[in-house]
Amino acid sequence: MLRRLRFALLYLFGRPRWDTGVSPPELVAYVAATPPGRALDLGCGTGTNVVHLAEHGWDAVGVDFVPRAIARAKRRARDAAVAGRARFLVADVTRLPDLGAPFDLALDMGCLHSLPRERRPAYARGLVERLRPGATYLLYAFCPPDAFGVPREDVERLFAPALRLESFEPGAGRPSAWYRFRVRTAPPPPSPAPASDLAVDGA
């Protein structure tokens, strides 16, 4: 509740520092190189990235738990004449509602690291359930020693084994990183059995 109130106040009394109105180059490059499909933006704020996706032919859905941010996002989509391809919902990313067909792309530009540690597994489960095999997940998150930072190994463990990490790039400025995951199209191979568990010839 306090977290929800804090974010609501940030949108009420001004423009949060992360609300730049400009999509990051990592997302712009991905969209430029990828045929459009269905996309989900978790913690979408005022809809900058959803509108960018919709402008490039994507059917995009944005979710945020701050009603004022969603109201601004809807206005941004109308102003950009993409309201037909951009849908916004007030919802908790750790308790996602039914969002229709599975998604080809999910993105999170700073939401995961703001979640309480105990709610992150629910976030991960809800996300994985809404992605189609082969889908991409782009994540930007703070890293230690930032106070909100999530260690890389914790991020990978959170989405294993359903998602495979394809790339990890340090972010600029504040300790952070860009992750690119891919939903596995087949179960991962089993880990080798410990030597003590292997049958011995003649035993």
The residues, any chain, with a CB within 8 Å of residue 140's CB and separated by 6 or more, are 24, 26, 108, 109, 110, 171, 176, 177, 178, 179
Question: pTM of the entire structure?
Answer: 0.84
Cβ-in-10-Å burial (0-12, 13-18, 19+) of 80 comes to: middle
pLDDT digits (tens, 9 = 90+) for 156-179: 999 999 999 999 999 988 899 999
Q: Which CATH superfamily is domain 21-186 in?
A: Vaccinia Virus protein VP39 (3.40.50.150)
Residue 130: which pLDDT band, with cuts at 50, 70 and 90? very high
Q: CA–CA separation, 36 vs 46, rounded Å?
A: 21
Over 60: is that where the pLDDT of 151 sits? yes
